[in-house]
Structure 1
């Protein structure tokens, strides 16, 4: 950690222009007007039409949203898909068993029939987008309440989506940008037959584990391969043995030529959420109230999950995706607290707001914008404790299945119990399928411990925000210790097993659900989580209006500045350069913008959960058997850095050189720049990517899956 602090201090002393990153997550339809000339100066050799075209194949046709939360890229004419190992993690875990443990040991299909279909996995292709701001905003005015405004906008959105879906062929989504000041619609096509083709073992794909997560230098082979299937005409189709590999409109060529520091790099992907317009008071709320509660609740959940996962390999496989998700955000939120505090981000934002407030209170602006900052500050002051409460509750819901499951299933069971014979017959099979799906991988001893631990924490720490009444009364009766109560509740609950639930369907009685202890507890949690009184609704509406006006007012006050919208899971392009950090003795590489297999082996700890390595990889390293994937200087590259502007959702995004060739797969950022979702740091912001040469080396030399490499278009 001392080394980290040293180079962090060095970075703060560097001249601003030395490592200036290219901030911004840009719409593809705007690159010709806003960015293309700048990108060409930096090394881009493609035309804007080659990046985004509606009528012809282009780069955007090779970029897909993967599984609803990550990005992936098409890398062959037969629909081969590359994404991160951690993006495919849930599907890999689902397909794994103790006898065929693909998470631990890896998996490589030697032929198309061997490719494995997860239960539910899809990719989404982007077709086109357009601006509908004038159409939508012409329907509203500032005299409307926020509720009236929302209702009118939602009706117009529904019309636009219906007009553009071509009879259900496409999925159309209208999104708000700049906090309701602009609107665009996006047209997509979804493919639901997506199959696992290959994955390295955990010891490569997740090398470094939680310890290295968000850290540099990294040595992680964070990739996995899937394939998209379609019907014989190339159309989306549900899984069928008669489906064929998709012949995509475009696939990315792959470069084995490597790169140098300062080379051009761009990333296309689906960044999930940034909040760069967030006010200073919102940052203070997150740092002091919301994020600490999130971190603490996540850690409690992780500890209780891991206790059982370490004792049972089947449980470990079944709960690995949940643990990974909770752990990732646990470290992310703690990193956000540290970075936002260290960089005094709220102070910077407050200074900007003071300047805006001067503009807003000029005579010509005051009527519309004069009260904006005051309204925003008052809102956060009134909701600080509520935010703390909600994040403890959110942590419980993320970690504990039974915080929400009895409520969700119970409502369906009540409808079933109160229905006619015909109604029951119509919905019974759906309820049975949902029960079977939900209970297939549940491990009740773990679930009891997680729920009890989360309730202990929630009841003791969230009181100022107003506990769920039933939880409060149980806490008083048990002196804040929920363990015995939860054990007794599970022992008598209808929701303790699928067998009890199926028995209920055979002889339904509504009072059995209504009096069930887990249903009552879960209902209390969910009711409190969703509760908003009329005063809070008015408060929220006033805040949303003020926030929207603040964003619009700041744009009006700085008309010459080029703005980009916050990320919201829509396709964006970001561009920058391969960019080093100051020399770090923890990195064996000569220049600190890449790492090598030498550094990977140096971290090796036999039988360690995070730093173990397969013997075959060590043997390949010792023999220097890197094949054509070695850098021209002789080393085997593993990971590298760029200064691209990305966030969650960009996981799996392609890193592309100036010729449009794939050079890596983005998978992480550096913890020193964790404030990046709120404010972009031109000195610290980095993207960490796995070098495509390491990906192909693992496929070819380690896994013996050269047939998959041969399927790709390689530029040497």
Structure 2
């Protein structure tokens, strides 16, 4: 009965939600009879979006590398995603002599497409509800250990029942703070090849200055391709593999759009925390995020110092720097947005409603939960701050993580007899090669000293601090690292030739890494009961809140599973402090603005001369808007977060109109609260993507793979076969 009531509340709340809020599980679409998405402009049936037995939109959407989203756009497995999603792969393929990050890369023939090492894409095969199955074995009187054991046992059983002997990857996820459970069946493809990337002056135009800001003029895309074996099944990289023939690919629209037009996004949003309490938000913006921001900025400064000196270092650390910089600006923006938008006071009003409901007869199990949550944050506040400084130390000071991971491998190797070492040697050599692939010893020595020094300065509560770190001499740490077995690739390789367990046990960096790991483990164990009780209170709070506020829209937080968000092309108010370069309808930017921002030789706003020449000639081809301008970026009011990068923006007929790549600074609190007035998605117009591929790069063969959809207002291009606007999907109005 409890499950029925919970589901009813879920469905009712969906029926009353705004069209632009929420990240929805695809399998629930056809059950949500209270919502008529067709009234908003959708011309597809639920089965055309999500189907297990027939091809549907879901079959064209992939989890890209586990950290972004991509979409299949041709019957030969061509993938579009963001430039910043493919950034690491492009950087890894670059050398000072062949700098694909700076100059771009285009495979003008299929044979020129090359393997993007360590990348994979994941297709969703199906999903299903496991809530009744798991919850029927759980109750609130169980200890956390008992509850965890049951969930793990059921998870293993579900994985075994659905993996088909390893053919599929099966993932069980909890939703609504552990009140519901669903499982997902995936198929992973590991032969992914780089096909095209614009130069960073286009793909990253605006740099950190424009990041999270509107108006934008960024050509944020890269092109990859999925390869499979001759039967279409996943396979490791092989020259004999062939392009995958997908179940579905997205047609690409050249028709354009206007404010109010339907727009939906499918993708893999990483994490939101929309039901975080006011106490959690206060901890986040007052203590956790400030620590993250400070540590990230210091790490960025160290990287930048060495990246500016050496081209090879710049390429090696480009992806790491970009990632840290992105989160650095996001975290600071979240702090500012929470304060500006009154997020905490809004949460407190909701909590007052919960409290009034929880004291009513029959609701005793929910009474006092918020007070316990408040007490929890007071108890773990210093621990959480320590975690942020520690996480940034481990993330940016590679000597620590490298010594711990590689040390474990070398320790095992040193204990083997001669025959065992011979068998293990290739694995150890591969581990060493990978560990030092993008490694500047001088940078890492300074990074280690700097981050340890910051930790010792900021983590003042010795009850939660790492005694190992507190005992280090930060000024001498770089010398300690340079004298270690793990100092560089050569010293680590020499150990293989002369393995000595006593030498390894005495290695200072190995001892430091093990000591930090032991401290972290002890700290985690110290708070196990506290954290377990918090998880239970969080679960009860959300279950009670859904009952206390049946009129409120409740939807599951993002957790890296495929979601759909729908809304429309939308505008932001014009701001007096921004230059819109003649655009008066503030939902798009065009090439005039791109050229207007151009600064020759500037790190963030330089442009290739060819782009400027094509603009001056107004050579926009079939990609120009009906009004004559070359569109670049546009806004929609879709609800997305990290992980949605690279997600397709799809019109009401199922056609691709753009690629999502960013949010706006006015709503950087969006992961914890949806801001309907301010929250927008910034997208690269698919017409600008195609213009770059065709006119700028001359990679016409890729355009010829696409299914183009146009209308009478689309500029003619006799070179390309295009599907007329009155397609099968259009006829379903």
| Distance in 1 separating the partners of 2:315 and 2:626 | 40
Question: Does the aligned pair in 2 maintain the 1:74–1:250 contact within 8 Å?
Answer: yes
Q: How far has the Cα of 1:561 moved from its partner?
A: 4.4
| 1:683 is the counterpart of 2:710 | no
- 1:6 maps to which residue? none
Question: How far apart, CA to CA, are the structure 2 residues paired with 1:163 and 1:686?
Answer: 41
Q: Aligned pair 1:369/2:366, yes or no?
A: yes
2:393 is aligned with 1:396: yes
CA RMSD of aligned residues (A): 1.5
Question: Is 1:462 equivalent to 2:459 in the alignment?
Answer: yes
Partner of 1:436: 433
Shift of 1:598: 0.4
**Contact 1:404–1:525 (CA under 8 A) maintained in structure 2:** no
How far residue 369 of structure 1 moved from its aligned partner, in angstroms, is 1.1
Task: Report the 3-state secondary structure (helix = DSSP H, G, I; strand = E; otherwise coil) of the residue aligned with 1:494.
Answer: coil
After superposition, what is the alpha-carbon deviation per residue over 1:588-638, rounded to whole angstroms, capped at 9, x for unaligned? 212110000000011001001100000000011111111111101010000
Find the aligned partners of 1:560 and 1:206 in 2 and give their Cα distance: 43
State whether residues 445 and 482 of structure 2, in contact with CA within 8 Å, keep that contact through their aligned partners in structure 1. Answer: no
Distance 1:530 1:370 in 2: 33
Which residue matches 2:172?
Answer: 174
Distance, in Å, in 2 between the alignment partners of 1:671 and 1:38 is: 31
Which residue among 74, 79, 82 is the counterpart of 2:80? 82
The match for 1:53 is 51
Partner of 2:619 in structure 1?
625
Q: Mark the CA change 1:401 to 1:344 in structure 2 (over 3 Å): closer, same or farther.
A: same
State TM-score, norm by structure 1: 0.94
Match among 556, 561, 564 for residue 570 of structure 1? 561
Matched, 1:161 2:152: no
Deviation at 1:20, TM superposition (A): 6.5
- Structure 1 runs not aligned, ≥5 long: 1-18
Question: Which residue, 571, 580, 591 being the options, matches 1:587?
Answer: 580
Deviation at 1:462?
Answer: 1.1
The superposition leaves residues 398-426 of structure 1 with CA deviations (integer Å, 9 ceiling, x where unpaired) of: 22211211011112222222334444344
SS state of the match for residue 680, structure 1? coil
Q: Report how far residue 491 of structure 1 moved.
A: 2.9
Deviation at 1:534, TM superposition (A): 4.9
Q: Matched residues in 2 for 1:467 and 1:642: separation?
A: 45
CA contact (8 A) 1:404 1:526 kept: no
For residues 49 and 487 of structure 1, the distance between their equivalents in structure 2, rounded to whole angstroms, comes to: 59
CA distance in 2, matches of 1:697, 1:254: 13
Aligned counterparts of 1:569 and 1:262: Cα–Cα separation in 2: 28
Alignment-derived partner of residue 257 in structure 2: 259
Q: What aligned pairs does 1:655-694 form with structure 2 within 5 A after superposition?
A: 655-694=649-688
Per the alignment, residue 701 of structure 2 pairs with 707
Structure 2 unmatched runs, 5+: 1-16, 711-733
Q: Residue in 1 aligned with 2:590? A: 596
1:59-458 correspondence runs (5 A): 59-366=57-364, 368-458=365-455
SS of equivalent to 1:248: coil
Aligned partner of 1:8 in structure 2 is none
The CA distance in 1 between the partners of 2:362 and 2:417, in whole Å, is 65
CA distance in 2, matches of 1:492, 1:704: 51
Residue 554 of structure 1, aligned match among 545, 549, 552: 545
Q: Could you tell me how far apart the structure 1 residues matched to 2:533 and 2:155 are? A: 23
The 5-angstrom pairing of residues 36-51 of structure 1 reads 37-51=35-49
Q: SS in structure 1 opposite 2:644? A: coil
Match of 1:536 in 2: 527
Contact between 1:228 and 1:246, CA under 8 Å: does it hold in 2? yes
- Whether the 8 Å contact between 2:267 and 2:647 is mirrored in structure 1 is yes
Asked if 1 retains the 8 angstrom alpha-carbon contact of 2:353 and 2:548, the reply is no
* Contact kept? 2:404, 2:513, Cα under 8 Å: yes
- Provide the residue aligned with 1:10 in structure 2: none
Deviation at 1:456, TM superposition (A): 1.1
Deviations 1:298-321 (A, max 9, x none): 001000001000111111011100
C-alpha displacement at 1:467, in angstroms?
2.6
Paired residues of 1:51 and 1:58 also in contact (CA < 8 A):
yes
Q: Which moved more, 1:54-63 or 1:523-532?
A: 523-532
Matched, 1:649 2:643: yes
Q: For each residue in 1:562-602, what CA deviation from the matched residue of structure 2 results, as whole angstroms up to 9, or x when unmatched?
A: 52100000000000010011124511212110000000011
The answer to whether structure 1 residue 512 and structure 2 residue 506 are counterparts is no
Q: Distance in 2 between matches of 1:282 and 1:26?
A: 24
In structure 2, C-alpha distance between the alignment counterparts of 1:697 and 1:450, rounded to whole Å: 42
Offset, 1:333: 0.4
Residue 657 of structure 2: SS of its match in structure 1? Answer: strand
Number of residues of Structure 1 aligned to a counterpart in Structure 2:
690
Q: Is contact 1:21-1:685 (8 Å) kept? A: no
2:190–2:237 CA contact under 8 A, matched in 1: yes
After superposition, the C-alpha distances for 1:650-693 in whole angstroms (9 at most, x for unaligned) are 00000000111000000000011001000001101000000000
Q: Distance in 1 between matches of 2:117 and 2:250?
A: 27
CA offset digits 1:372-412 (Å, max 9, x no partner): 11111100011111111110111112222112110111122
Q: Deviations over 1:156-209 (max 9, x none)?
A: 100001100111111110100011100000000000000000000000000000
1:502 Cα deviation (Å)? 2.1
Measure, in 1, the Cα distance between the counterparts of 2:266 and 2:97.
38
Deviates more, 1:354-363 or 1:80-89: 354-363
| Range moving further from structure 2, 25-34 or 659-668 | 25-34
SS in 1 for 2:659: strand
Deviates more, 1:188-197 or 1:21-30: 21-30
CA contact (8 A) 1:298 1:327 kept: yes
Contact 1:23 1:644 in 2 (8 A): yes
Matched residues in 1 for 2:262 and 2:117: separation? 39
CA distance in 2, matches of 1:592, 1:400: 43
